[in-house]
Amino acid sequence: MPLRKGDKFSFVMFGPKPPPEQLRDRSVLLKGAIFDDGSTWGDPKWIQMLILRRASAYRYEAEALQIVMDAKVRSMNPNTLLQRLRSTEQRRLQEAKTTPEMQMAEGVFDEVTLLIRDALAAQLNEAPLIGARSINSRKLSSYTDSAVERLTLRMQEIERAKPSVADVSVGVALSH
């Protein structure tokens, strides 16, 4: 959700109901922000990191979407899809040159894996993430729908954001 200058945004960093003493002992320092009009505030290094995170997220979301769509078209079994996502995540983590790239690779591929596992578990009438039975013989298309929807939505949000991710070279933005 984009912020406009002057808007306020609050978030919980300590769980749903942290004890009051935990809130008093913690402080958060905002070091940079990118507003919905593309303007920025804060330390230029932090701004670059935020832009790199956005560009990395877009890159990994596009790659994960391609993997999921390919699996759907090929009617790949779910276990093969999950393995492909895990191995791609591992490769991207090894290739990452910066912490933001590593964080985004891990976050994107883990979330897609969880979405697919949850959908599979729901189809098996199990609690999400239990999956003790084999999922090899299950049809894939319905299991990929939530992942495709989520990835598509996130990519569209990033495409609308300013500054454009097309202006960022992943892995180079923090090298200055």
Listed by start position, the domains of the chain span 56-161
Q: With 0-12 CB in 10 A as exposed, 13-18 as middle and 19+ as buried, what is 141?
A: exposed
pTM of the shown model: 0.74
- Given pLDDT bands bounded at 50, 70 and 90, which one contains residue 173? very low
What is the pLDDT, as a whole number, of residue 161? Answer: 86
Instruction: Judge whether 44 and 65 are in contact, CB under 8 Å.
Output: no
Q: Going along 20-133, which residue ranges are E strands? A: 32-34, 40-42
What is the pLDDT, as a whole number, of residue 84? Answer: 97
Cα–Cα distance, 20 to 37 (Å, whole number) = 36
What would the pLDDT profile of 62-119 be if each residue is shown by its tens digit? Answer: 999 999 999 988 988 889 999 999 999 999 999 999 999 999 999 999 999 999 988 8
